[in-house]
Amino acid sequence: MTDKQSPTEIFGSDRMWGLKELPLPDPISWWPQTPGWYVLGGLAVAGLCYLMWRLWMRYQHNAYRREGLARLDKMTTDPAALKELPLLLKKSALMAGSRQQVANLNGRAWIEWLNETAGDELFSMSDADTFEQLAFAPSDRAILDTTNAEHLIKASKTWMRMHRVTA
């Protein structure tokens, strides 16, 4: 402080001396203050738990699809494994639908049911004979040509992904 400056020029008005700064109010809490928010939070947590449980059950229910698609992928690389295609489709259908609905189906009725549950004409009626040949032919000889085998595997993969069975 120099001799030329008065204390009021440095610190402001004489009236401000001795004043204290007012304390700030407490910050506003983000925590809910009413019981309705606790109820709403509980319902939200319960709903989230239910949703997670439903997703887990759906994942578990569709395990047969994942296994079937993995086996179909194996069939594309191993033509000898193509013999198990009819059994694989039947097992998958039994997992998806009711035993009374699926177990007795064969031939054209089986193809019609597969197409009906897929919602599309994936299999032709001639595929019924091909499935029968695959199921009962000796395993040491090739039954299908490459294009027919590719068609059956592609249609089976599509059916595995798309089918919906109503009980």
Q: Is residue 105 part of a domain?
A: yes
Q: Is residue 141 part of a domain?
A: yes
Token pair of 139, please?
A: 């395993």
Q: Is residue 32 part of a domain?
A: no
Name the amino acid, one letter, at 64: Y
Q: What is the pLDDT of residue 43?
A: 98
Q: Is residue 47 part of a domain?
A: no
- Degrees to nearest 5, angle at CA 34 with 30 and 37: 75
Q: Is residue 21 part of a domain?
A: no
The one-character DSSP state at 124 is -
12: left (phi over 0), alpha (psi -120 to 50) or beta: left
Tens-digit pLDDT string for the chain (167 aa): 556 666 555 556 666 667 778 889 999 888 888 999 999 999 999 999 999 999 999 999 889 899 999 998 888 777 677 888 888 899 988 888 788 888 888 888 888 888 888 888 888 888 888 888 887 777 655 566 777 888 888 999 999 988 876 65
Total number of domains in the chain: 1
Q: What is the pLDDT of residue 136?
A: 77
Q: What is the pLDDT of residue 12?
A: 61
Q: Is residue 33 part of a domain?
A: no
Provide the domain limits for residue 134: 63-162
Q: Is residue 19 part of a domain?
A: no
Answer whether 91's CB lies under 8 Å from 127's CB. no
Helix then strand then coil, in percent of the chain rounded to 5, is: 65, 0, 35
Q: Is residue 139 part of a domain?
A: yes
The pTM of this model reads: 0.68
